[in-house]
Structure 1
Amino acid sequence: MQMETFHWKKNQKLAEDYIAQTDKAKALFPYHFGNLEDWRSRVQWLDEVKTSPQVDRRRLVQVLEKYNERIGNTQAAFDHISSLADKDTLAIVGGQQAGLFGGSLLVLYKAISIVQLAREWSGKLQRPVVPIFWIAGEDHDFDEVNHTYTLSNAQQIEKIKVDHPTGRRTSVSRLPLEPEAWKEALAALDQSLMDTEFKASLFAKLEVTTEDGATLSDAFARWMAILFGEYGLVLIDSDEPSLRALESSMFEKLILQNEAYSGSLQKSQDEAQQAGYESQAEISSDGANLFIFADGQRLLLHREGELFTDKKKDHSYTKQQLQDLALTTPENLSNNVMSRPLMQEFLFPVLATVLGPGEIAYWSLTKHAFEQFGMKMPIIAPRMEFTLIEGTVQKQMNKYGFTFEDVLERFENKKQEWLDAQDTLQLNERFDAIKSEFSVNYAPLVESLAAINPGVKKLGETNLVKILEQIEFLRNKAGEAYKTQFDAALRQLERIRLTILPFAKPQERVYNGCAYMNRYGNEWLRDLIETPIPVDGLHRIYYL
C-alpha cells in the first residue's frame, strides 16, 4: 500500500486550530485527542463519575439487536452489541446522514475512523470498545442526501438521484421509496460505471439494500452493514421508534430546562466568538433546539412567551404538553444538531466521537450544555481524510510534473506553463513582435496623413486598429490550432483535476465509493480499515 500524508488546511478555522492544539481552541473543549492523558482522564470519568448512559443497558442492547437484525448486520456486530450490557464496555461513536448508495467517500472514511479507534483503544485499555455509527435518519433535508456523483469514462461528473416521494418535510427515515425509483437510480449508476469483473457482485449487493420499499436510511444502513459489518460496526438510526422510547427522560430534561439549555449554548457561542471564531450553527435565545412531528412534517420549535411554537405558528404547545409528549409518545420529538450530541452521550458510554471539521466547530458550542445536564463532552477525534489516486492518474501527474499541491493551489498556471514549454514555434513572442513592429512603422505614416486631410488620418487610425485586431485574431486561431496537437494531454490534465478536486472540492466530499469498488473491488477499502493509521488530522493520499 502506497500512501502519503499531506496537510490540507481545513476550511473551518476552529477545527484547524483544534487539531493544531492552539490554546484558544483547546479552551473550548474539555479534552484533546492528541493527549494520551486526556484519554485516561476520560476513561476515569466514565468509570467513576458519569451517571450516563442513563438508560438501562439491557434495554439499549435489545433496541440495537432488533435494529441491526432488521438491516442484516453480522455476528461481529451482534457480539459488540452484547458487550454493551457490560458496564466496562465503552464506545467510539460517529454519525452521518443517510446518503444515496452510501453517500460520498467521506462517509466511508468516518466509519473507518470509528472502527480504527475502537480497535486501537480496545487494545490499549484491554477492555471492550465498541464502534457505533449513528445514522441521522431524523434529518429532513431530502435534497441533501438524495443524490451522489461519479466520474464517468467520458470525464463528466454525473449526478445520480432519486426524487422526493411525497414532497412532505419529514425525516428521511420516514419516506419509503417505490421499487421503480430504486430501479431507475440503480440503472443510472449502472450506466455511469464501466463494465468490470467486480460490477455484477457490486450491483447484486446494492439491489439487496433497496428491497422491501426501503427508505434512503434503510438502504444506507444495509450498505454500511455489508461494508463494515465484519469489523463489528454497530449501526442505529436516530429516528428508530424503539430508540426514541429510550430517549424519553432526556427529552423531558431538554424541555423542562429549555431556557437554561439555550443559555448554555449561548455562553459557549460567546466564548467561541471572543476567541475569534465564527459560529458554525445558528444559536438564538428563544431556540428550543428540538423538532416536533405534526401533520406529517418535522417542525423546528422555538419559545414564544410561555409557549413552544413552529416558525409559522401553526402548532403551539405548553411546556407541560411537550413534557407529556416526551413521556408518552417520544417518537413525535426529534433532535437538532445541538441536542443530538447530548442525546448520544445520554445513550452510550462514549469514549470519543469522530467528527468532520464543521462538526468540530459546532460541537464546541455544546460544552456548557453538557455540563448543565451533568455530562461532559467526550474526546473529539477528527475524521480521517483520504484522496484516492488511480495508477494511471499517478503516472500522468509524474509525466506532466504535477504534484498534489500543484493541483490544489495552481492547476491552471501549471497547465499553462506546460503548454508554453511545448511552444517550439514561440507563437506568442513572434505575434507580439509583429504587432509591435507594425505599430512602430505604421503609426508615423498615419500621423503624416493629417497634412493631407484630418478625415484621412482618422481613417488611418481606424485601419491601424483593425489590422492589429486581425493579427490578434490570427494569433488566437493559430494558438487554438496549435493546442489541438495536445488534445490528449489536455484531457489527461483534466482527468487529474477532476480526480483530485471535482467542483473545486475535495474528492471525498463529491464522489461515491461505488465507482472505486467497481474498478478495484474492495481491497483498497480493506487496506484502509485494517492498516493501523494514526488519527492525527492529516490528509492522506492513497495510491490505488
Structure 2
Amino acid sequence: MNVVQEPLQSGQPLAESYLSDFQAVEHLFGGHPAEEGSWSARLQWLDRTEHLRAGRRELVQRLRQYNERFNPNPAVTKSLSKLGQPGTVVIVGGQQSGLFTGPLLVIYKAITIIKAAERASKQLGRDVVPVFWIAGEDHDWDEVDHTYVLSPELEVSRIRIPREDGRRGSVSYTVVKAEEWERAVRDLDQLLPDSEFKADLLGQLRDALSVSASLTEAFARLLGTWFGKYGLVLLDSADPTLRRLEVPMFEAMIRSNDELESAYHAASRDITSLGYRPQAEVAEGGANLFYIAEGERLLLFKRGDVYTDRKGLVAFSREALIAELHRHPERFSNNVLTRPLMQDYLLPVLGSVLGNGEIAYWGLTGKAFELLELRMPLLLPRMSFTIMDDTTQKHMDKYSLSWEDVIDHTAFTRIKADWLAKQDKLQLDAQFAEMKRAFAGLYDPLIEQLGQVEKGLIKLGNTNKTKIIEQMDFLQVRVKEAMERSNEAGLRHFDRIEFTLFPQHKPQERVFNIYAYLNRYGIDWIDRLMEVPYEMMGQHRMVYA
C-alpha cells in the first residue's frame, strides 16, 4: 500500500484547535499527547490513583466472561492477563454497534487503538492493553440500523434492518431475528460485485450472524474475527455484569449531580466565549443519566428534588434513586457527557482514541473530571484514511484532477460542468444565445409597431415572444441532454470519482462499509491496513490500494 498525507478539514473547529493550537484550548482538556512528558505524567497519576477506580480483579473477570463468548482469541486472553496486573494501563476508544460494523471509521478506530497501545507500551516500558468500548447502551436505533455500499450502478445504496416498534431500548437488548439478518446479507450479496473473495466473505458473515441475537453481538464477533489476533479487548457498555462495578461512580454522579450540571454549563460557556459552538446542548435541569424502565431508556431530569423523565413515567427522590441504583444497577446508563467519567473510573485509561466530533464533546467534560477528582486522559485523534482504488485514480489522472479539486463539492461540480461544456465543439450555447438575441432584436420593434394598430396587441405580442423563447429554451435543454448522453462515459467517470471518495458529500470513511473493500481486496486486507504506520495526531492520509 502506498500512503500519502492529504489535508481534510473535519468541520469541527474546537477539535482542529486541539490538534493545531492547543494552548488556546488547553484549559478545556488538560494534557496533550504531543507535549513532552505528558505520557509519563498520566502514567504516574494512574499509578497513584489505582485505589480510586473499580477493582482490577473483578473488572478482568467480567471482561474475560464477555470476550470468551464473542472474542475468544488467545491474544485477547493474554491481554486480559496483563490487565489483571497492577500497573497495566489501557488505550480505549469506542463506537456504536452499527450494522456489519457500520462505516469504515469504526475499523480505523480499532486500528488506531491497537497501534497507539503498541506505541505507548514501547515508549513507556509498561504493558498497555487496547480496549474497544462498544456503546451498546445507546438507544438511537436509526444511527446504527444501516450501512452503505457503492453499487455497480454507482448508487450509494443503503442496507437496513428496521425496528418497527419505535421503542427506545438499548441496542444491545434489541433482538434481530434470523430472517432480518438473512435479508440484510442478501441485500449485501446483490450490491457487491462478484469476486474471488465474495463467497468466503459472505460465508464468514453468515456464520457470525447466525449466532448473534443483536447488532451488538454481531458487531463484537466481527471485530473479534478481525482484531482479536492483535489482543483487542472488547467491552459492551450495556453488559449488566459491569453495572455492579459501576455503582460507586453512578452514586457519586447522583450525589454531586447539581455540581456536575454546573460544571457542564461552565464548560459550555467557556467554549462559547472562545468563539466555538458547544458540540452538545447542556440541558437545564439535566441529570445526564438514563434510567431503563420496561425496556425503554429514559433520560432523567431534575424537577425540584425529584428525578424524573420528560413524560413523568418514573420519579425518584435523590435517596430513592440511590437506593434503586443499589438494588438494580442494570437499570442505569450514562449519557454522552458522563460516559467519559465512567470510562475513566472503570479502566486505567492512559489515552482515549476519539474522532474530531468526540474531541469536541469531551471539551465539555474537563470541569466534571476535576469535580469527581479524576483527570481527563490524553485524547488521541483517530487515524483518518481515504481509500483510492486504481480505477478512480486512473479517472482522476485522465481529467487532471487533484485531491483539492475533489474535496470541494462546489468546485468539483464546476469542473465537471466546464468539462462537459468543452465537449460542445459546435458552441451550441453561444449559438442559442445569439439566436435569442437576434430574435428579440427583430421582434421587439415589431411589437411596438403592433401597438399602433391596437394597444392590446402589445401584451399579446409579448406573450407570444415569451412562448417562442420558452420553446427555444426547451430545445436548448434537449440538446444539452443529448450532449450529456453522448458524453455519458465521461460523466460517469466524474460520478465515480465523487461517489467513491465523497459519497453523500461526506468523507468516504463516514459512509461506506468495510465489506466492499474486503470483497475487492481480500479478507486479509485489514491486516495490510494494520501495517500502515501509526500517525499520533490523526492527519488524514490517502491509501492507494
TM class by shorter chain equals: over 0.9
Q: Tell me, yes or no, if the aligned pair for 2:73 and 2:229 is still in contact at 8 Å.
A: yes
Matched residue type, 1:42: R
Report the counterpart of residue 502 of structure 1 in structure 2: 503
Question: Does the CA-based 8 Å contact 1:52-1:347 persist in structure 2?
Answer: no
1:18 — aligned with what? 18
State the match for 1:34 in structure 2: 34
Q: Distance in 2 between matches of 1:70 and 1:112?
A: 22
The answer to whether the 8 A contact 1:80-1:232 is kept is: yes
> What is aligned with 1:250?
249
**Bigger CA drift: 208-217 or 506-515?**
208-217
Q: In the alignment, what sits opposite 2:168?
A: 169
Instruction: Name which of structure 1's ranges 387-396 and 402-411 shifts more when overlaid on structure 2.
Output: 402-411
- Corresponding letter in the other structure for 2:8: W
Q: In the TM superposition, what whole-angstrom CA distance separates every residue of 1:477-522 from its partner, at most 9, and x where no partner exists? A: 2222222110111112111111112112111111111111111114
User: Which residue number corresponds to residue 518 of structure 2?
Assistant: 517
1:154, 1:215 → 2: CA distance?
A: 31
Written as runs of structure 1 = structure 2, the 5 A alignment for 1:449-464 is 449-455=450-456, 458-464=459-465
Uncovered stretches (5+) of structure 1, i.e. residues with no partner: none
1:282, 1:360 → 2: CA distance? Answer: 15
1:352–1:381 Cα contact (<8 Å) kept: yes
Quote the Cα distance in structure 2 between the aligned partners of 1:165 and 1:423. 51
Bigger shift: residues 218-227 or 445-454: 445-454
Mapped to 2, the partners of 1:293 and 1:320 lie a distance apart of 18
Give the secondary-structure state (helix, strand or coil) at the position aligned to 2:530.
helix
Q: 1:82 to 1:470 in 2, by over 3 A?
A: same
Deviation for aligned residue 1:50: 2.5
Deviations 1:52-72 (A, max 9, x none): 562221111111111000103
Query: 1:457: Cα distance to partner?
Result: 5.2
How far apart are 1:426 and its partner, in Å?
A: 1.1
Give the aligned partner of residue 472 of structure 2: 471
CA contact (8 A) 2:40 2:124 kept: no
Q: CA deviation at 1:118?
A: 0.6
Q: What residue ranges of structure 2 are gaps of 5+ in the alignment?
A: none
Written as runs of structure 1 = structure 2, the 5 A alignment for 1:35-434 is 35-47=35-47, 49-51=48-50, 54-164=53-163, 166-409=165-408, 410-434=411-435
TM-score by length of 2: 0.95
Counterpart secondary structure, 1:127: coil
The whole-number CA distance in structure 2 between the counterparts of 1:12 and 1:307 is 36
Residue type at the aligned position of 1:381: L
| Partner AA of 1:498 in structure 2 | F
8 Å CA contact 1:52, 1:345 repeated in 2: no
State the AA in 1 paired with 2:304: G
Alpha carbons of 1:461 and 1:304: their partners in 2 closer, same or farther (altered >3 Å)?
closer
Measured after TM superposition, the shift of residue 166 of structure 1 is: 5.0
- Counterpart CA distance in 1 for 2:307 and 2:460 is 78
Q: Distance in 2 between matches of 1:348 and 1:282?
A: 27
Q: CA deviation at 1:298?
A: 1.3
- Evaluate the alpha carbon distance shift between residue 266 and residue 457 of structure 1 in structure 2; reply closer, same or farther with a 3 A threshold: closer
Distance (Å, rounded) in 1 between the aligned partners of 2:148 and 2:467:
48
Shift of residue 95 of structure 1?
0.4
> Residue 320 and residue 199 in structure 1: after superposition, are their counterparts in 2 closer, same or farther (change >3 A)?
same
Give how far 1:45 is off.
Answer: 1.9
Moved more, 79-88 or 30-39: 30-39
**Superposition deviation, residue 8 in structure 1:** 1.4
**In structure 1, what is the Cα distance between the partners aligned to 2:313 and 2:511?**
38
Distance 1:294 1:462, change over 3 A: closer
Q: What is the deviation of 1:461? A: 4.1
> Which deviates further from its counterpart, 461-470 or 397-406?
461-470
Q: Greater CA deviation, 533-542 or 118-127?
A: 533-542
Percent of aligned pairs sharing the same letter:
45
- 2:467, 2:246 → 1: CA distance? 78
Could you say which residue in structure 1 is the equivalent of 2:532? 531
Cα distance change, pair 511–457 in 1 and its aligned pair in 2 (3 A): same
Contact kept in structure 2, 1:99 and 1:148, CA below 8 Å: yes
Question: Displacement, 1:471?
Answer: 2.9
Amino acid of the structure 2 residue aligned with 1:68: N
1:424 maps to amino acid: K
Deviates more, 1:147-156 or 1:33-42: 33-42
Distance 1:161 1:470 in 2: 45
Pair 1:227–1:110, CA change in 2 (3 A): same
Give the drift of 1:233. Answer: 0.8
**Number of residues of Structure 1 aligned to a counterpart in Structure 2:** 543
1:148–1:510 contact (8 Å) kept in structure 2: yes
Q: How far apart, in 1, do the equivalents of 2:8 and 2:160 lie? A: 30
486-495 or 324-333, larger mean C-alpha shift: 324-333
Task: Please give the alpha-carbon distance, in whole angstroms, between the structure 1 residues aligned to 2:104 and 2:166.
Answer: 27
CA-to-aligned-CA distance 1:178-203 (integer Å, 9 cap, x gap): 21111111111111111211112211
Deviation for aligned residue 1:465:
3.5
Deviation of the 1:453 alpha carbon = 4.5
Where 2:364 maps in the other structure, the secondary structure is helix
SS in structure 2 of the partner of residue 245 of structure 1:
helix
Q: Distance in 1 between matches of 2:461 and 2:269?
A: 69
Does the CA-based 8 Å contact 1:74-1:230 persist in structure 2?
yes
CA-CA distance at 1:355 after TM superposition: 0.9
How far residue 440 of structure 1 moved from its aligned partner, in angstroms, is 2.7
In structure 1, the residue corresponding to 2:25 is in which secondary structure?
Answer: helix
Question: Counterpart in 1 of 2:7?
Answer: 7
| Inter-partner Cα distance in structure 2 for 1:464 and 1:282 | 57
Q: Distance between the aligned counterparts of 2:259 and 2:265, measured in 1? A: 10
User: In the TM superposition, what is the alpha-carbon distance from 1:4 to its structure 2 partner?
Assistant: 2.0
Contact 1:289 1:336 in 2 (8 A): yes
Decide whether the 8 Å contact of 1:52 with 1:346 is kept in 2: no
| Deviations 1:109-138, CA, capped at 9 Å, x for gaps | 111111110111111112111110000000
SS at match of 1:283: coil
Structure 1 CA distance for aligned equivalents of residues 474 and 510 of structure 2:
41
Paired residues of 1:52 and 1:348 also in contact (CA < 8 A):
no
1:326 positional shift? 2.6
8 Å CA contact 1:263–1:285 kept in 2: the answer is: no
RMSD: 1.8
The SS at the match of 2:287 is strand
Give 1:345's aligned amino acid: D
Q: Single out whichever of 447-456 and 436-445 deviates more from structure 2.
A: 447-456
Preserved contact between residue 137 and residue 237 of structure 1 (Cα < 8 Å) = yes
**Counterpart amino acid of residue 28 in structure 1:** L
Shift of 1:22: 4.3
Note the C-alpha offset of 1:294. 1.3
**Conserved in 2, the CA contact under 8 Å of 1:52 and 1:349?**
no
Structure 1 Cα separation of the partners of residues 180 and 164 of structure 2: 9
Take 1:293 and 1:490, find their aligned partners in 2: how far apart are those partners? 52
Q: Which moved more, 1:103-112 or 1:518-527?
A: 518-527
More off after superposition, 243-252 vs 473-482: 473-482
